[in-house]
């Protein structure tokens, strides 16, 4: 089954769908159903050799999780909610997607990456879930649903990386989550974002799951 994704379709201007590859995966059946779409995302918990060259492997997603126990005050990080959405935040949101499949897939030819990440940072601003490092040198967004918090956009300005800012932002995000009732934190990144994976592991996160992502372009 292919599920229609109205958010992506409205933003990109063409039909987008998503499917989860299960044990009864049939590529021929998929291709027939995919005729209604211009783009379909495929997710699998194992890597699969596709027969149709139009189905391209794009990335390996890594899902991290950590049980939250202690809250610490990080004076260099504050919630951002006053004024408008600063240009620096938009720039950092785009930097956060350096390893994103929406940036790396050459099939995206109509500024889809920028549209998506600009939309995400605008939504985070409207929902008051942005934490900002001093002088806007880094930012992180945190969404909380019941007892689980999730990191959305996470970036340190390229001029200030490898100075411990990322760790401070993550600690601040954990504290924010705990103070708002969350018991665990989840973070999703790409396997090729090795620096992020090292940071999360160092900060006590464990790999919860791995997913292999494919894109099918029907053009």
What's the confidence (pLDDT) of residue 81?
Answer: 81
What confidence category does residue 103 fall into, taking pLDDT thresholds of 50, 70 and 90?
Answer: very high
What confidence category does residue 219 fall into, taking pLDDT thresholds of 50, 70 and 90?
Answer: confident
Q: What is the pTM of this model?
A: 0.93
Mean pLDDT of 29-43: 97
What's the confidence (pLDDT) of residue 139?
Answer: 96
Q: Which pLDDT tens digit goes with each residue over 134-152? A: 888 899 999 999 999 999 9
Kind of pairing, strands 148-156 and 39-44? unpaired
Give percent above pLDDT 90 in the chain. 86
Average pLDDT value over all residues in the chain: 95
Mean pLDDT of 26-40: 97
Least confident of 41-45, 74-78, 171-175: 74-78
What's the confidence (pLDDT) of residue 163?
Answer: 84
Q: Which pLDDT tens digit goes with each residue over 62-97? A: 999 999 998 888 989 999 987 788 888 999 999 999
Query: What kind of fold does domain 64-210 have according to CATH?
Result: Aminopeptidase (3.40.630)
Domain map of the chain by residue range? 3-61, 64-210
């Amino acid at each position: 089954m292919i599920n229609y994704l109205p958010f992506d379709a409205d933003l990109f201007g063409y039909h987008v769908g998503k499917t989860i590859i299960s044990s009864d995966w049939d590529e021929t059946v998929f291709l027939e159903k995919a005729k209604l779409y211009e783009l379909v995302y495929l997710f699998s918990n194992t890597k699969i050799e596709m027969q149709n060259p139009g189905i391209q492997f794009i990335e390996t997603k890594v899902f991290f999780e950590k049980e939250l126990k202690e809250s610490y005050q990080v004076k260099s990080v504050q919630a951002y909610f006053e004024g408008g959405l600063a240009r620096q935040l938009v720039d950092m949101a785009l930097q956060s997607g350096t390893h994103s499949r929406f940036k790396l897939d050459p099939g995206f030819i109509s500024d889809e990456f920028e549209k998506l990440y600009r939309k995400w940072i605008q939504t985070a601003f409207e929902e008051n879930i942005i934490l900002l490092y001093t002088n806007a040198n880094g930012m992180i967004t945190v969404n909380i649903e019941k007892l689980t918090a999730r990191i959305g956009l996470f970036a340190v300005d390229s001029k200030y990386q490898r100075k411990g800012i990322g760790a401070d932002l993550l600690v601040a995000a954990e504290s924010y989550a705990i103070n708002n009732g969350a018991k665990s934190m989840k973070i999703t990144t790409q396997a090729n974002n090795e620096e992020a994976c090292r940071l999360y592991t160092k900060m006590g996160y464990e790999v919860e799951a791995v997913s292999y992502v494919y894109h099918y372009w029907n053009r």
